[in-house]
Amino acid sequence: MESKLTHRDLYFKILDLKSNKNYKVEALYDFVLCKVDYVKEQSENYQSDLKKKLHIFMNEFDKRWQKCNRTKNRFDTIFETWLNKKFIFSEVSKSLPMSHVGRPKVLFSKACDKTKRHKTQTLRTSNSTEELVYAAQLSLKETGNVDAAKLLKEATSTTPTRALNIQRAYTAFQNVKPVQMYSEEDALALIIDAKLTKSQYTLIRLQAKQRNANIYPAYNKILEAKSQCYPKKDQVLITEISAEATLQSLLNHTVQRIFQSIENLSAYEFKNNTVVLLSKWGLDGSSGLAQYKQKFNDVQSASDSNIFLTSFVPIQIIMYSGESKEVLKEFIWKNPRTSSTKYCRPIHIQFQKETTELIQNEVSNISNQIQNLVSSIVNLGNDDFVSVKHELVLTMIDGKVCNAISDNKSAQKCYICGAGPKDMNNLNTIKQRPIDPSTLSFGLSSLHAWIRFFECLIHVAYRLGFKKWQARGDDQEMLKKKKKEIQTKFRQELGLLIDQPRPGGSGTTNDGNTARRFFSNPDVSSSITGVDKNIIVRFKVILEVISSGEKIKGVEFNNYTFETAQLFISKYPWFYL
C-alpha cells in the first residue's frame, strides 16, 4: 500500500538520529506512527511486519551510505531516484470485521499476567525451554532487536549463574549515582581553595581522565571563568608600582555577580522598592616583605618590600519598601563570612610604605568616588532590570589609620575624645569629655579588641612585681624576668607564644587566636599571670558581646562595661586603661 511517506522523509529522520541501528529502527517506527495515522489502528501482525520493512530499509540505506563514504552531498546526488520513491506499506484489510459475542480481544502487550499465562499455556507445554528461548532469539533478531537477542542468549546458553550476575550488574547500575562534572566556576573555586598551580591542576585532571573520570574542565575554560570575575579592563589602571580599579566599575561588577549566584530571583518583587548593597571598606599597609630583582623608576617612594592595600567587602543586599529606606522589607543576600578574605575586593594595590600622608590621600580619593557613585543596573534576564544603590562604611581600619584620619598626633591618645593615658582612669571625667562624632563611623574592630584586651592584661601581669605604669632602673630587669617566666608557662601549659617578635619585623605573635585561647582558659590564665580571674571573665564577656553579631542592649551593656572598668581600676589603679 502506498502512502505520502517517501524514502527521503525516512532519510532525513535517520540523519537526525545518533543512536545505533536497532534504536534507529525503533525511532523510525515511532516516526511512521506519527505521520501515518491508520497504522496505530492495525493488528499486531501488521505492525510487526512494518518493523521488518523498516529494518530492511535501514539495511538498504546502510549499504548505499557506505558506498558514498558517508558523505551527504554524494548520497543525495547518486541516489536521488531512490530517495524520491514512496515507502510501500502492507495492504490493509478492508473487509468488515466479523462481530463477536462478548468482550473484544485485548492486545497481548496490554493483557494482564493471568491472560498471558492462559494464552501461552499451549505454547509452553508443547515446546521445551531451549526451543522457546531459541525461537525468542530469532524473533528478536527479525524485529531488529539484535542486542536483546544476544543478551537472551548470554543469559540462558552459558553458565547457570550468568543470568544472576547480569541481574546483579543491572541492579548495581541502577543504584549508581551519576557522576557530576565540575563546572568552570566550581573548578576555579577548587583551585583557589587548594592553592593549586596550573601544572598541579592539569596533572590531577589527566590522572582522573586516565581512570575514566572526566570530571574536570580544561584549564582554558577555567581561565575564561576567571576572567568573568574581573571588572572591565578599561576600568583598571596598572602601573609598575600600583594597580587600581574604579570603585564604580568594581561595585557594578560585584552586584552583577552576586545576583547571578542568587537562586529564585523571580520570588522577589523589585518594582517600586529600593534595593541597597551595604559594604564596608578600609585600607592597611604591610612591610618587611620579600624583595625581588626588579627595577623601579622611582626607587625612593616604591619598593616591593612594602604594600598598601585599599579594599571593600560586600555585607548584604537589602530591599526596602517604597523609595525611602525607613521600612525594611527583606534581605536578598547576606555575606556568610564578612571577615573572610574570599569576599574581599581589592580597589587599589600600591608598592608604598604606609604613612600618614598616604593614608589621608587614599581616604580622600575613595571618599570622592563614593560621593559620585550612581546606582548599578543589574540585568536579570527577560528584559528585567533592577537598580541597586550603594552604601559604604569605613570600618576596615586599625588604630594607625584612625589616628591618621582624625589627625591624632599621639598613638597613646584616644582618637574619639582626645584623652591621654593619665586621663583614662578618671572615669567620671572621661564620661564628660566631648567627642568627635565623625570618628564613631569608624566602627569597632572586634579582632583588634581581642588582641588589645589581651595585651592589657599581659602588661599588667609583667608589672605586678613593682606596680608602676613605667618601668625604670631595676624595675626593667624585674619586668624582663617576669615576662620570660610568663612566656615559658604559657608555652608549656597552653602551647601559646606570647609577645614574641615575628621574623621579618611583621609584628608579634599576639594574634586573635592567641587572645581567644587566653580568655577561654580563665583559670589557667589567672594562675600564670596573677591577674584577677573575675576581670578576665568580664573582659571575655565584653568581647563575646562585641563579636556576637546580635543586637546589643545599650543601657545594660554600658552599665556592665562601666562596672568592669571600675573593678579594674580598684584592683590596678597604677595601670592606665
* Least-confidence region, from 92-106, 111-125, 127-141, 229-243: 92-106
Match 623601579 to its residue by C-alpha cell. 296
Residue 215 lies in a domain: yes
CA-closest candidate to residue 339, choices 260, 405, 395, 257: 395
Gap between the Cα atoms of 340 and 323, Å rounded = 32
- Quick one: how far is CA 541 from the chain centroid? 34
Assess whether pLDDT exceeds 80 at residue 397: yes
Residue 412 lies in a domain: no
Residue 37 lies in a domain: yes
Q: Say which residue, 162 or 318, is predicted with more confidence.
A: 318
Q: Report how far apart, in Å, the C-alpha atoms of 245 and of each of 231, 235, 308, 311, 390 are.
A: 8, 6, 15, 10, 17
b/e 222-250 (16+ beta carbons within 10 angstroms → b): beebeeeeebeeebeeeeebeebbbbbbb
Q: Do residues 312 and 373 both lie within one domain?
A: yes
Give the end of a domain, one of 397, 431, 452: 397
Q: Do residues 169 and 250 both lie within one domain?
A: no
Assess whether pLDDT exceeds 80 at residue 114: no
* Least-confidence region, from 9-13, 312-316, 325-329, 444-448: 325-329
* Least-confidence region, from 48-57, 297-306, 430-439: 297-306
Assess whether pLDDT exceeds 70 at residue 240: yes
Assess whether pLDDT exceeds 70 at residue 20: no
Q: Do residues 58 and 31 both lie within one domain?
A: yes
Assess whether pLDDT exceeds 80 at residue 187: yes
Mean pLDDT of 15-30: 70
Q: Say which residue, 455 or 8, is predicted with more confidence.
A: 455
Assess whether pLDDT exceeds 50 at residue 336: yes
pLDDT recorded at residue 51 = 80
Assess whether pLDDT exceeds 90 at residue 218: yes
pLDDT recorded at residue 143 = 76
pLDDT recorded at residue 504 = 62
Assess whether pLDDT exceeds 80 at residue 296: no
DSSP-derived pairing of the beta strands 384-396 and 273-286: parallel
pLDDT recorded at residue 97 = 46
**Alpha carbons within 13 A on the beta-carbon side of 542:** 21
Q: Do residues 244 and 389 both lie within one domain?
A: yes
pLDDT recorded at residue 40 = 67
Give the end of a domain, one of 358, 379, 397: 397
pLDDT, one tens digit per residue, over 495-554 is 888 888 877 666 788 888 999 999 999 999 999 999 999 999 999 999 999 888 788 888
Q: Report how far apart, in Å, the C-alpha atoms of 396 and of each of 358, 439, 447 are.
A: 16, 13, 11
Q: Do residues 259 and 363 both lie within one domain?
A: yes
Expressed as residue numbers, the domain containing 358 is 238-397
Gap between the Cα atoms of 546 and 387, Å rounded = 33
Q: Do residues 205 and 246 both lie within one domain?
A: no
Q: Do residues 296 and 333 both lie within one domain?
A: yes
Assess whether pLDDT exceeds 70 at residue 104: no
Q: Do residues 345 and 288 both lie within one domain?
A: yes
Residue 355 lies in a domain: yes
pLDDT interval class at 312 (50, 70, 90): very high
Looking at the DSSP bridge assignments, the partners of residue 243 are: 238, 349
Q: Three-state SS string across 297-332, please? A: CCCCCCCCCCEEEEEEEEEEEEEEEECCCCCEEEEE
Mean pLDDT of 210-238: 91
- Cβ of 104: how many Cβ atoms within 10 Å? 7
Residue 577 lies in a domain: no
Give the DSSP letter of residue 271. Answer: T
pLDDT recorded at residue 521 = 92
Q: Do residues 371 and 486 both lie within one domain?
A: no
Q: Do residues 244 and 384 both lie within one domain?
A: yes
Assess whether pLDDT exceeds 90 at residue 391: yes
Residue 338 lies in a domain: yes
Q: Do residues 269 and 388 both lie within one domain?
A: yes
User: What backbone torsions phi and psi does residue 408 show, to the nearest 5 degrees?
Assistant: -90, 115
pLDDT interval class at 79 (50, 70, 90): confident
3 state SS of 11:
helix
For 28-33, the CB contacts below 8 A with 24+ separation are 28/54, 28/57, 28/58, 29/54, 32/5
pLDDT, the chain, mean: 84
* Least-confidence region, from 73-77, 96-100, 476-480: 96-100
Assess whether pLDDT exceeds 50 at residue 94: no
Assess whether pLDDT exceeds 60 at residue 305: yes
* Least-confidence region, from 163-167, 212-216, 217-221: 163-167
Give the DSSP letter of residue 3. Answer: -
pLDDT recorded at residue 446 = 81
Mean pLDDT of 184-211: 93
Mean pLDDT of 375-400: 86
Q: Three-state SS string across 483-499, please? A: HHHHHHHHHHHCCCCCC
Residue 108 lies in a domain: no
With DSSP H G I counted as helix, E B as strand and the rest as coil, what are the percentages for the chain, rounded to 5? 55, 15, 35
Match 525468542 to its residue by C-alpha cell. 136
CA-closest candidate to residue 282, choices 308, 306, 310: 310
Domain count for the chain: 5
Assess whether pLDDT exceeds 50 at residue 95: no
CA-closest candidate to residue 403, choices 362, 360, 441, 451: 360
pLDDT, one tens digit per residue, over 357-367 is 999 999 999 99
Mean pLDDT of 427-448: 82
Q: Do residues 214 and 300 both lie within one domain?
A: no
Assess whether pLDDT exceeds 60 at residue 432: yes
pLDDT recorded at residue 189 = 92
Residue 415 lies in a domain: no
